[in-house]
C-alpha cells in the first residue's frame, strides 16, 4: 500500500477526532462555566483545530477516486446536490428555525446553539470540499496539460490562505484584499472552463440548470447563516477560517453561476445537436445490426424508425421489393389504403423509382384530388448499382415541411441501409459457404471410412487399388466381401453427381451390398445361398428405387470369384467394361456385356436388362476394373485417355504384379493429363490370378 493510500485511510478518523476537539474547545470557549477547572482555551487552539479539520476533509476529498463516470455530468451534479448539499442546507435551516424559537427561551439554548453551529461549520466544510472537487472533475474534463497545471496552482494558493489566521502577523488590509481579489480572479478565470456543457442534450441541460440553482441556493443559505450568527449574542465562538472558506465558497458559487449561464444560453442549440447526434446514432445502429448478425427485416425496421425520428415525419411508409421473399409493408400513422392511392398516383407520374420532393401537395392537382391531410412529401428509393430494393415515403402535414438537408439525411440513411443489407447478404452467403465446406469435410470423412482399408490377401491372387476424388466428396466406391465356399465378392460403382448427396448414396449402396449378400437359410444348396450378380442388381435396383432422386442413378459391376473352381461370374449395371488379360491366348480385351444403370428403370422390368457372364480364369490372368474417371481423363487438348490407351498399357505390363501394373497405368495416366485438373473421380482395381492355387479357405 502506498504512503498516500495509507494516509487516506487515516484521514476519516483523524478528521472526526479533530472535529470533536473543535467542538469541545468551542463549548469551553463560549461557555467557560461548563468546566471552570480547565478554563478558557486559547483562540489559536481553536483556529488550529479548524485548520486541521478543514485540511483533512479537503485532502480526503482530493484523494477520492474520480467521481465523473464517463459522460454522466448530470449524475455527478445530482449526487452532489442530493448528498452533502441537501444535508447541509436542511441542518442550517433547522438551526435558523431554532434561533427563532430560542428568542423566547434565552437561557436554555446557547450551549445547543454552539453545538449546532459547530456541526454546521463541519457540514459547510464538507459541502465546499465536495463541491470544489466535483467542479475539478468538470474543469479538467478533456483538459490540456496547461489547465491541469493551473488547477494545481489554484489548489496550492487556496491551501496557503488556510494558514493566514494561524500567524500573529496580520497583513495590511489593502495587501490582504489585493491578494484575495487576485485569487478570486484566478478562480473566476478557471470557472470559464465549461466544455462539458456541449455534451448535454436539451433535457439534461434543463436538469443541470435546476441542480446548479440548488447549489447556488445552498451557498447563499450558508453565507446568510454565517452573517447572521456572526453577531449573535447567544453564540460567542471564534470566527471561522474566513479567507479559505470565503474563497472556496466564491469559487463554488461562481462556477455554478457561470455553468448555469452557459447551459442556459446553449439551450436553443441543443435541438440541432440532438438531431445530429440522433443521425449518428441511427447510422451506428444500422452498422451494428450487421455485426450482431441480424436479418434484413431488422435493418429495414431500424432504417424506417430512424428516418421518421430524424426528419420528424408526421406519416410514412416503406415498400420493400425482394426477389423471392415477401416483406410486409411498414406504415407509420398512415392507412395502407392512403399509401396505395399515393403510390398509384406516383406510378402514373412515372416517379416510382426516383428521388422526389414536393413541398406543396395542396397545390398539386393530383395530390389535391386525393384529399389527404399532408402538405409535403419525400420519396427516397433504396437502390444499389445492382438492383432496386424499394422506396421510402415521408410525409408532413404542413407545406414546405422538408428541406434539402432532410433529403440529404434520407439519402445517407438509404445508402447505409442498402449497404447494410448487401453486406448482410454477403456475410450470410459466406456463412452458408462455410457451412457447406464443413458438411463436405464431414461427408469426405464418412466416405473415406466406407473405402476398405485392408485388401483381401491370399496366395492365389493379388489385388491393388487406387481411389482419388475430384472434389472433397466423390461418387466412386468399391468394396469386398468374403463368401463361404471359397468365394470373394467384389463390387465397384459410381454414383451420379458429387457432394454430400453422392456420399449418402455411396453409403446406401454399401449397406445394400452387405445386406443382400447375406446367406439365405432357405436355399436348397450351397450355391443358392447368395444371389448371383444379376439377381443382386435387380434387388439393389428395387431398394434404390425408393430412395434415389428421380435424376440420380448408380452404375456398378459385381464380381463373384470362385477360386475353388477357378472361375468368376459378373454382371454390369451400366458400369465401365472390364479389361482382361488372357494368359493362354496372350491377348488383352474388354468384356463388352450389356447392362443398365441402377435407378434408371424403377420397376420389375429392370431384371431383363442385366445379364450374368461366366468366365474360367487361368493363372497369370489379369482383370482391370475401373470407373469412367480413368478413361475420361483429359489432356491439354481435351482428348480423353480412352479405353484403347488403357488396353495398351495392360498389354505392356501384364507380366508385372498387380501393384506394379496399377502404378504403371497411373503413371501413364498422370503423364497424359499433366497440368490438367481431375475431370472426374478415379478408381482403379487390378486383380491378378497367380499360378499357385489356394490351400484352404480364406
List the CATH number of the domain containing 554: 3.60.40.10
Considering 267, 301, 329, which residue would you say is the last residue of a domain? Answer: 267
pLDDT higher than 60, residue 397: yes
C-beta of residue 287 within 8 angstroms of C-beta of residue 303: no
C-beta of residue 332 within 8 angstroms of C-beta of residue 313: yes
Same domain for 332 and 480, yes or no, is no
Whether residue 119 lies inside any domain: the answer is yes
Range of the domain at 214: 71-267
Number of domains in the chain: 3
Considering 233, 267, 301, which residue would you say is the last residue of a domain? Answer: 267
Whether residue 22 lies inside any domain: the answer is no
Q: What is the distance between the alpha carbons of residues 248 and 268, in angstroms, rounded to a whole number?
A: 32
pLDDT higher than 80, residue 169: no
Q: What is the pTM of this model?
A: 0.46
Whether residue 408 lies inside any domain: the answer is yes
What is the sign of the dihedral through the CA atoms of 130, 134, 139 and 140? positive
Q: What is the pLDDT of residues 484-541, one digit of tens each?
A: 777 889 999 998 877 777 878 888 888 888 888 887 776 666 667 788 899 899 989 9
Same domain for 470 and 498, yes or no, is yes
DSSP string for residues in 458-476: -SSEEEEEEEE-SSSS--E
On the 0-12 / 13-18 / 19+ scale of CB atoms within 10 A, 129 is buried
Q: What is the pLDDT of residues 170-182, one digit of tens each?
A: 666 677 677 778 8
Whether residue 348 lies inside any domain: the answer is yes
Same domain for 159 and 235, yes or no, is yes
* CA proximity to 51, closest of 184, 244, 252: 244
The CA-based diameter of the chain, rounded to the nearest angstrom, is 146
Whether residue 432 lies inside any domain: the answer is no
Same domain for 261 and 347, yes or no, is no
Same domain for 561 and 634, yes or no, is yes
Whether residue 652 lies inside any domain: the answer is yes
C-beta of residue 234 within 8 angstroms of C-beta of residue 278: no
Q: Give the relative orientation of helices 173-190 and 145-161 as an angle to the nearest 10 degrees.
A: 150
pLDDT higher than 80, residue 252: yes
Same domain for 314 and 241, yes or no, is no
Q: What is the distance between the alpha carbons of residues 28 and 228, in angstroms, rounded to a whole number?
A: 22
Same domain for 283 and 178, yes or no, is no
Same domain for 257 and 310, yes or no, is no
Q: What is the distance between the alpha carbons of residues 303 and 285, in angstroms, rounded to a whole number?
A: 9
pLDDT, residue 696, reads 44
Considering 248, 267, 286, which residue would you say is the last residue of a domain? Answer: 267
pLDDT higher than 70, residue 80: yes
Report residue 389's pLDDT band, with 50, 70 and 90 as the boundaries: confident
Q: What percent of the chain has pLDDT over 70?
A: 86
Same domain for 209 and 123, yes or no, is yes
Query: Average per-residue pLDDT in the chain?
Result: 81
Same domain for 155 and 221, yes or no, is yes
C-beta of residue 575 within 8 angstroms of C-beta of residue 595: yes
Q: For residue 398, give the CATH number of its domain.
A: 3.30.450.40
Q: Give the relative orientation of helices 43-63 and 145-161 as an angle to the nearest 10 degrees.
A: 160
Provide the pairing of β-strand 476-483 with 567-573: unpaired
Report residue 274's pLDDT band, with 50, 70 and 90 as the boundaries: low
Q: How far, in Å, are 310, 320, 558, 604 from residue 611 at the CA level?
A: 79, 61, 11, 15
pLDDT higher than 50, residue 106: no
Residue 141, number of CB atoms within 10 A of its CB? 15
Whether residue 43 lies inside any domain: the answer is no
pLDDT higher than 90, residue 31: no
pLDDT, residue 315, reads 92
Whether residue 3 lies inside any domain: the answer is no
pLDDT higher than 80, residue 22: yes
Same domain for 213 and 288, yes or no, is no
pLDDT higher than 50, residue 697: no
Residue 687, number of CB atoms within 10 A of its CB? 25
Torsion on CA atoms 324, 330, 336, 341, rounded to nearest 10: -80
Q: What is the distance between the alpha carbons of residues 337 and 29, in angstroms, rounded to a whole number?
A: 88
Among 253-267, 394-408, 633-647, the range of highest mean pLDDT: 633-647
Grid coordinates belonging to 607: 431384371
Same domain for 202 and 341, yes or no, is no
Amino acid at each position: 500500500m502506498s504512503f498516500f493510500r495509507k494516509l487516506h485511510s487515516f484521514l476519516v478518523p483523524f478528521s472526526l477526532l479533530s472535529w470533536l476537539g473543535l467542538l469541545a474547545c468551542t463549548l469551553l470557549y463560549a461557555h467557560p462555566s461548563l468546566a471552570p477547572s480547565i478554563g478558557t482555551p486559547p483562540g489559536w487552539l481553536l483556529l488550529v483545530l479548524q485548520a486541521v479539520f478543514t485540511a483533512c476533509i479537503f485532502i480526503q476529498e482530493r484523494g477520492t477516486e474520480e467521481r465523473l463516470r464517463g459522460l454522466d455530468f448530470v449524475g455527478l451534479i445530482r449526487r452532489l446536490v442530493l448528498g452533502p448539499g441537501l444535508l447541509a442546507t436542511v441542518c442550517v435551516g433547522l438551526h435558523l428555525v431554532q434561533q427563532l424559537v430560542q428568542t423566547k427561551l434565552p437561557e436554555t439554548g446557547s450551549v445547543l446553539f454552539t453545538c449546532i453551529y459547530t456541526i454546521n461549520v463541519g457540514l459547510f466544510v464538507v459541502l465546499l470540499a465536495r463541491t470544489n472537487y466535483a467542479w475539478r472533475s468538470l474543469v479538467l474534463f478533456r483538459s490540456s496539460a496547461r489547465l491541469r497545471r493551473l488547477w494545481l496552482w489554484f489548489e496550492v494558493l487556496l491551501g496557503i490562505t488556510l494558514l493566514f489566521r494561524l500567524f500573529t502577523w496580520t497583513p495590511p488590509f489593502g495587501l490582504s484584499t489585493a491578494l484575495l481579489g487576485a485569487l478570486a480572479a484566478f478562480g473566476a478565470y478557471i470557472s470559464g472552463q465549461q466544455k462539458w456543457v456541449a455534451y448535454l442534450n436539451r433535457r439534461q441541460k434543463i436538469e443541470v440548470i435546476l441542480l446548479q440553482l440548488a447549489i447556488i441556493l445552498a451557498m447563499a443559505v450558508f453565507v446568510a447563516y454565517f452573517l447572521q450568527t456572526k453577531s449573535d449574542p447567544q453564540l460567542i465562538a471564534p470566527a471561522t477560517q474566513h479567507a479559505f472558506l470565503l474563497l472556496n465558497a466564491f469559487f463554488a458559487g461562481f462556477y455554478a453561476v457561470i455553468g448555469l449561464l452557459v447551459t442556459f444560453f446553449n439551450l436553443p442549440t441543443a435541438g440541432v445537436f440532438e438531431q445530429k447526434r440522433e443521425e449518428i446514432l441511427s447510422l451506428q445502429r444500422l452498422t451494428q445490426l450487421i455485426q450482431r448478425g441480424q436479418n434484413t427485416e431488422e435493418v429495414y425496421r431500424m432504417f424506417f424508425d430512424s428516418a421518421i425520428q430524424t426528419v420528424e415525419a408526421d406519416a410514412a411508409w416503406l415498400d420493400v421489393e425482394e426477389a423471392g421473399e415477401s416483406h410486409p409493408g411498414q406504415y407509420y400513422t398512415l392507412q395502407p389504403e392512403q399509401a396505395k392511392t399515393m403510390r398509384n398516383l406516383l406510378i402514373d407520374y412515372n416517379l416510382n423509382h426516383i428521388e422526389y420532393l414536393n413541398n406543396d401537395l395542396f397545390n398539386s392537382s393530383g395530390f389535391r384530388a386525393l384529399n389527404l391531410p399532408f402538405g409535403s412529401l419525400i420519396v427516397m428509393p433504396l437502390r444499389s448499382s445492382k438492383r432496386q430494393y424499394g422506396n421510402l415515403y415521408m410525409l408532413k402535414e404542413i407545406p414546405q415541411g422538408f428541406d434539402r438537408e432532410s433529403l440529404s439525411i434520407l439519402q445517407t440513411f438509404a445508402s447505409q441501409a442498402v449497404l447494410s443489407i448487401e453486406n448482410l447478404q454477403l456475410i450470410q452467403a459466406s456463412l452458408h459457404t462455410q457451412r457447406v465446406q464443413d458438411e463436405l469435410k464431414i461427408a469426405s470423412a464418412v466416405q473415406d471410412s466406407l473405402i476398405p482399408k485392408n485388401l483381401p490377401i491370399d496366395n492365389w491372387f493379388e489385388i491393388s487399388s487406387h481411389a482419388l476424388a475430384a472434389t472433397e466428396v466423390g461418387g466412386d466406391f468399391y468394396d469386398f466381401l468374403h463368401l463361404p465356399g471359397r468365394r470373394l465378392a467384389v463390387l465397384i460403382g459410381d454414383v451420379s453427381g458429387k457432394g454430400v448427396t453422392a456420399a449418402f448414396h455411396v453409403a446406401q449402396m454399401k449397406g445394400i451390398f452387405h445386406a443382400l449378400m447375406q446367406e439365405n437359410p432357405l436355399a436348397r444348396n450351397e450355391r443358392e445361398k447368395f444371389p448371383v450378380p444379376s439377381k443382386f442388381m435387380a434387388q439393389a435396383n428395387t431398394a434404390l428405387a425408393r430412395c434415389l432422386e428421380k435424376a440420380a442413378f448408380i452404375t456398378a459391376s459385381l464380381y463373384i470369384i470362385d477360386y475353388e473352381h477357378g472361375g468368376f461370374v459378373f454382371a454390369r449395371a451400366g458400369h465401365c467394361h472390364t479389361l482382361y488379360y488372357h494368359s493362354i491366348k496372350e491377348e488383352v480385351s474388354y468384356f463388352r456385356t450389356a447392362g443398365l444403370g441402377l435407378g434408371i428403370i424403377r420397376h420389375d422390368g429392370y431384371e431383363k436388362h442385366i445379364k450374368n457372364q461366366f468366365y474360367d480364369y487361368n493363372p497369370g490372368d489379369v482383370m482391370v476394373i475401373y470407373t469412367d474417371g480413368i478413361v475420361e481423363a483429359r489432356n491439354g487438348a481435351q482428348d480423353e485417355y480412352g479405353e484403347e490407351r488403357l488396353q495398351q498399357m495392360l498389354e505392356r505390363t501384364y507380366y508385372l504384379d498387380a501393384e506394379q501394373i496399377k502404378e504403371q497405368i497411373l503413371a501413364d495416366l498422370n503423364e497424359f493429363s499433366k497440368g490438367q485438373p481431375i475431370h472426374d473421380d478415379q478408381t482403379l482395381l487390378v486383380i491378378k490370378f497367380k499360378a499357385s492355387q489356394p490351400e484352404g479357405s480364406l
